[in-house]
């Protein structure tokens, strides 16, 4: 009888997992300072991190730690799991910005605070003149990987740009 009950509960749990589309959405995230390939890229990396933080903070039901609270990890790169526990989040975004000539590359990953596993990672590369598009792509992909459901209005808010001029942004 116990074995039959265990099988039924297991099957029901599997069905719930499948019908919900996999793991539950993440409700909290911190974006740690990005590492860079040089001093010039450092200011740009800070801007990208702050822009991502601002964009993600517009997502309903997602608690995003302020960039000013994660800045303390800039001087000494932190263990993502330890930083996540200190900040009280489930997922940490880590990244690296590399600038080679007129090309910018952002390598980003999501790290589970619970067990330190990499949940997702991707490299984004764009011409430096398209930094705004690069940020949009990184933010949209992170939201998708966090499994946060967005309305059409929320998607529009996520892509809000305060300038279309990459030079003005710099």
Cα–Cα distance between 51 and 109 in angstroms, integer?
Answer: 17
Task: Indicate whether 18 pLDDT > 70.
Answer: no
Contact at 8 Å (CB) between 157 and 58? yes
Cα–Cα distance between 80 and 65 in angstroms, integer?
Answer: 14
Task: Indicate whether 165 pLDDT > 60.
Answer: no
pLDDT, position 78: 80
Cα–Cα distance between 30 and 65 in angstroms, integer?
Answer: 5
Q: pLDDT category, 7, cuts 50, 70, 90?
A: very low
Per-residue pLDDT reduced to its tens digit, 52-88: 999 889 888 889 999 999 999 988 778 999 999 999 9
Which tops the pLDDT comparison, 46 or 155?
46
pLDDT, position 160: 55
Which tops the pLDDT comparison, 166 or 89?
89
144 CB neighbour count, 10 Å cutoff: 11
Mean pLDDT, residues 118-130: 94
Say what percent of the chain tops pLDDT 90: 42
pLDDT, position 15: 35
The token pair that represents 95 in the structure block: 């990244």
pLDDT, position 125: 95
Contact at 8 Å (CB) between 138 and 52? yes
DSSP string for 103-166: EEEEEEEEEETTT--EEEEEEEEEEGGGHHHHHHHHHHHHHHHTT----HHHHHHHT--S-S-H
**Three-class secondary structure of residue 8 per DSSP:** helix
Which tops the pLDDT comparison, 118 or 161?
118
Task: Indicate whether 39 pLDDT > 80.
Answer: no
99 sits in the region (left: phi over 0; alpha: psi -120 to 50; else beta) called beta
């Amino acid at each position: 009888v116990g074995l039959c009950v265990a099988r039924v509960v297991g099957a029901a749990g599997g069905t719930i997992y499948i019908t919900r589309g996999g793991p539950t959405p993440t409700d909290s995230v911190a974006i740690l300072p990005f590492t860079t390939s040089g001093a010039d890229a450092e200011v740009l990396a800070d801007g990208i991190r702050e822009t991502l933080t601002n964009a993600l903070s517009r997502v309903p039901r997602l608690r995003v730690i302020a960039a000013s609270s994660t800045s303390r990890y800039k001087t000494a790169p932190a263990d993502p799991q330890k930083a996540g526990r200190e900040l009280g989040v489930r997922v940490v975004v880590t990244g690296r910005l590399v600038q080679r000539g007129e090309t910018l590359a952002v390598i980003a990953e999501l790290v589970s605070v619970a067990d330190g596993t990499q949940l997702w990672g991707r490299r984004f590369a764009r011409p430096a003149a398209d930094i705004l598009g690069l940020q949009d792509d990184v933010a949209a992909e992170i939201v998708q990987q966090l499994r946060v459901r967005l309305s059409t209005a929320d998607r529009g808010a996520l892509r809000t740009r305060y300038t279309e001029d990459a030079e003005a942004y710099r």
